[in-house]
Amino acid sequence: MTVALATFAAFPEGSDDVVALRAALAGLGVAAVPAIWDDPDIDWAAFDLVVVRSTWDYTDRRAEFLAWADGVPRLLNDAAVLRWNTDKRYLRDLAGAGVPVVPTLWDPPDPPADWPEYVIKPAVSSGSRDTARWRAGEEDRAREHLRALLSAGRTAMVQPYLSAIDTAGETALLFCDREFSHAARKAPILAAGTGVLDAPNGGQITAASATPEQLAVAHRALEAVSGDLLYARVDLVPDPDGSPVLMELELTEPALFLEHAPGSAARFAEAIAERL
């Protein structure tokens, strides 16, 4: 039995998660190999299973990536999940299902005049690309950012910047087969008006514990999604009242932060092996 762990050309050997999964799968007698998703020489049907991992360049070629996913015979997470999840407009579906999400304006003509601080980003993106945090008084630059996205034909999102992120960060809840596995804390990554932080701790990951309130929101989000979910990452932040709200539901190529949770690589490897 051979499993492909799909990655992209800049990470031909895969991410740290791929390295950990390969080792854990080897212990179960399963061969796992990193494979570049857009390599034309790969016969994806030759694998018993293909698991999407570090395909982090898909945002520039989403249609091509989804066409590839449609053509892979045995893929997790599956192509239907990827199609829905690679456009952050899925947040509207989750909000409609009663999941508490960060309030979002879609394609507004101008930045909000009454929000003290907010984030502008495209609906198709990863790694905070083309994303920036703006404050009141920076409307001209924020408007340029917003209109650049819209003029490029991209769906633009505007969300209030929740100040608790600066102290509590984001909490990522990781799920394997829809069962909670572990949690991690992501330090703040956006500096006001400048986009990604260049400080050493910008986006730093540390181990964390999940609260009952966070788990309840995460389970509610996953219950709103159909399909076979091998992996899922639920990113939560505190709202102004301190209650957890959904920032993103990562079902495509999330980092799983396996190195921050002993035993987590084995859990995910066992779930993969069971599907074989």
115 pLDDT exceeds 70? yes
- Least confident among 8-22, 116-130, 167-181, 225-239: 116-130
Q: List CB contacts of 208: < 8 A, sequence separation 6 or more.
A: 171, 172, 183, 184, 185
Do 227 and 187 reside in the same domain of the chain?
yes
Band of pLDDT at residue 128, cut at 50, 70 and 90: confident
Do 197 and 181 reside in the same domain of the chain?
yes
**Domain span at residue 138?**
105-160
Do 175 and 191 reside in the same domain of the chain?
yes
Residue-level pLDDT at 189: 81
Residue-level pLDDT at 196: 59
Mean pLDDT, all residues of the chain: 94
Mean pLDDT value of segment 35-57: 97
pLDDT (tens digit per residue) in 253-266: 999 999 999 999 99
How far is Cα 11 from Cα 135, in angstroms, rounded to an integer? Answer: 35
Do 136 and 214 reside in the same domain of the chain?
no
Do 168 and 255 reside in the same domain of the chain?
yes
How far is Cα 162 from Cα 169, in angstroms, rounded to an integer? Answer: 10
197 pLDDT exceeds 70? no
Band of pLDDT at residue 126, cut at 50, 70 and 90: confident
195 pLDDT exceeds 70? no
In the numeric block, the tokens 């079902």 are attached to 251
Do 77 and 27 reside in the same domain of the chain?
yes
Are the beta carbons of 165 and 237 closer than 8 angstroms?
yes
Do 140 and 192 reside in the same domain of the chain?
no
How far is Cα 76 from Cα 36, in angstroms, rounded to an integer? Answer: 15
Mean pLDDT value of segment 238-264: 96
Mean pLDDT value of segment 138-165: 94
Are the beta carbons of 157 and 106 closer than 8 angstroms?
yes
Do 127 and 76 reside in the same domain of the chain?
no
Band of pLDDT at residue 109, cut at 50, 70 and 90: very high
Residue-level pLDDT at 129: 81
Any alpha helices (H) in 48-185, and if so which ranges? Answer: 62-71, 79-85, 90-96, 139-151, 165-168
Are the beta carbons of 77 and 227 closer than 8 angstroms?
yes
Do 168 and 247 reside in the same domain of the chain?
yes
Judge whether 276 lies within some domain.
no
How many structural domains are present in the chain?
A: 3
Do 57 and 133 reside in the same domain of the chain?
no
Give the whole-number percent of the chain exceeding pLDDT 90: 87
Quick one: which H or E segment has residue 174?
Answer: strand 170-176
62 pLDDT exceeds 70? yes
The helix-helix angle for 16-26 and 264-274 (nearest 10°) equals 60
Would you give the distance in Å from CA 184 to the centre of its chain?
13
200 pLDDT exceeds 70? no
Mean pLDDT value of segment 38-50: 98
What pTM was estimated for this model as a whole? 0.94
Judge whether 271 lies within some domain.
no
Do 208 and 248 reside in the same domain of the chain?
yes
CATH assignment of the domain containing 28:
3.40.50.20
Judge whether 275 lies within some domain.
no
Residue-level pLDDT at 202: 60
Largest CA distance in the chain: 59
Judge whether 231 lies within some domain.
yes
